[in-house]
Structure 1
Amino acid sequence: MTGFSTRAIHAGQEFDPTTGAVIPPIYQTSTFVQDGIGGLRGGYEYNRSANPTRDSLQTLLAALEGGAHAYSFASGLAAEDTLLRALLAPGDHVVLGNDVYGGTYRLLDRVLRAWGVDLSAVEMSDADAVRAAIRPETKVLWVETPSNPLMKITDIAALAELGHATGLTVVVDNTFASPALQNPLSLGADVVVHSTTKYIGGHSDVLGGAVILDDDALAERVGFLQFAVGAVSAPMDAWLTVRGIKTLPVRMHQHSANAQAIAERLVEHPAVERVYYPGLPQHPGHEIAARQMSGFGGMISLALAGGPQAARVLAEGTELFQLAESLGGVESLIGYPDAMTHASVRGTALAVPENVVRLSVGLEDVDDLVADLDAALARLAVRV
């Protein structure tokens, strides 16, 4: 197998045989002419069932995660919903972390629960707690590592072994790490999901999601639902995602370097109660992260000593760090999870502490990012 950077540039990206164009064209079409009834050219008939641009992205995603099959969707939640439909039936049960993305919990709790699916949220770093939460009707063990937003680290290999011992399908949300830093399938996971909107796309200009897996039978079910339900990525979205992937390795290297420098700078800051970043030696998941990741990523969360008001003031007080939902783009973003990305889990066991802000550290000069945060933190004493 070729190296990761080579795959990121070339997998599924053969030059156009007609013109020699280095970049494959965007097949911006809804349908395809047939050579007689049922005479499909290359197997293409309608954009929902297949499109060459989407196929090229799917080939690329499979190569990056080391999977046999990949499916691209209109959003990360569309990918998750399709996978869960393929895995679950009424009466089934899901075990997931008590710190997962709020949208994942909302999908299970407020959409799929009405169709007879139950769920339990547990501390994934506690194998005994995970084991105790598994029931006879449990079908899926859902792992998110690093988690959103408290950056908890789960030992993928250990959870995969535990899950397989009880016949579960082990799913890993690899959005925060990206395949440039972590490959869950090689650690024993059965399925990987992504919001490709984030680091994979990398430029805050496209929405998407992905499911990558090896199991042929499950892949057939996912592929059928992708076609039957139709939440596919559009050709332009697929093309933009491919374009973003070509720089994924170098971007993740710089995201990680910038985040590490910022985390080390803020860990002793008097206005900061705690820094959540797996690259810090004092992070409870540091050793596991160092073992299963090749870098610690660009996401940091901060608990402010001044409480919820200080967190809100900081989130609204930076300049280079722009206040916005989402993450993983080249530009730095700041968010207040309690009222933004995780508002749907307020009042539940998954509620994010109200003094926490989340940083998506971008690719700007790190000295400028540090200065921006230092200035905003210095203003807290005046405004709080």
Structure 2
Amino acid sequence: MSGGVDSSVTAKLLADPSNGYDLSAVFMRNWDTRDESGADDGCEWKKDWEDVQRVCRMLDIPVKMIDLSREYWLRVFEPSLRDWASGLSPNPDVWCNKEVKFGALLDRLTKESAFSNAWLATGHYASKTWDTSNRLTQPRPMLRKPLDSTKDQTYYLSSISENSLSRALFPLSQLTKAQVRNLAIEWKLPTATRDESMGLCFVGERKRFSEFISQYIVPKPGPIVDMTTGKKAGVHQGLWNYTIGQGAKISGMPQRMFVAKKDPRANVIFVVPGADHPALYVEGIRVRDFHWIWADDEPPEVSRPSGLEAHIKYRHCMTDVPCTVHRWVLCTSLFKFGPPTACRDTYGLRIIFHTPQKGIAPGQIATIYSEDWCLGCGVIEEVIRT
């Protein structure tokens, strides 16, 4: 439970006696404010923890807090810092689900005899079904989109393992956000009118991202260059302050400029005029470290010349778009692309969009779907332009 309305309604639904569940609640403390200020006063997690306890008292559910701030720091935050510093655009919330919620937390609970065979229920808007088509194997879990497409959170869950997914419950799968809010009000839950949390979990609503991240990364000024003229348009204080596809506030320009490209080696940001400039669009992407939720069952179509016809999301808040997926080989020893026999191989995916897409940045997560079935995700290595 997080202290929000979604996990509160999830707890209430599961607490219905007709379900027959033996319930216990757990609150994860993922961020230690003392890492920033040296003091533990005014911490956002305290308000969340108080709300969780209020809901659990009302529902008569035992609850405890587990401190996973060290695991979060080492497995999620530090890797994200390295990516931001190098000009990439990571998504820590995706890795939080894999490494912490469905990783460290599930491992911690499994080691406790009382929870060794427990299910882990969350307030995510996602669905799960079981594939029983192969009679020779055990049923396999399938991560699917929920009823409320506007709140679909399968993108954030696309990195978890099959084993973790098999133990997950998503009670909100057939509810809309409006229905969840109305149920919370009807049941008079303490969190019924609480605002929805937005943004990165460790930044929250406290301050601007650039202000927060500047506490951890030393500024590295560099030029902002207008791609259309080749002239210097301004100065940036660090590649992490700009995201490809987003507007760049540059004084003295006759038209609003948008970030089209970053050059980490030269520490340069390239911008173009207008939100629909051709330089903002790409034909496809190359994705490394792709994780299929069914790790031993990669779709055979990706190795065929015609490829796998699928859909993709490269941001959470977007409608998935059609694409064709092929196997891709990176020659790591030669630092170039080539045939499998030329070098030590690292495999990824080459994904071509059916229509050009814009605002795609290396480091983002690319999630693949077959209709409403989420197959897995990987990290965008580079974009493909014609």
Compute the TM-score of the two structures, normalised by the length of structure 1: 0.28
Q: Greater helix percent: which structure?
A: 1
- Determine which structure has the larger strand proportion and give its number: 2
Q: TM-score, normalised by structure 2?
A: 0.28
More RCO (CA 8 Å, sep 6+): 1
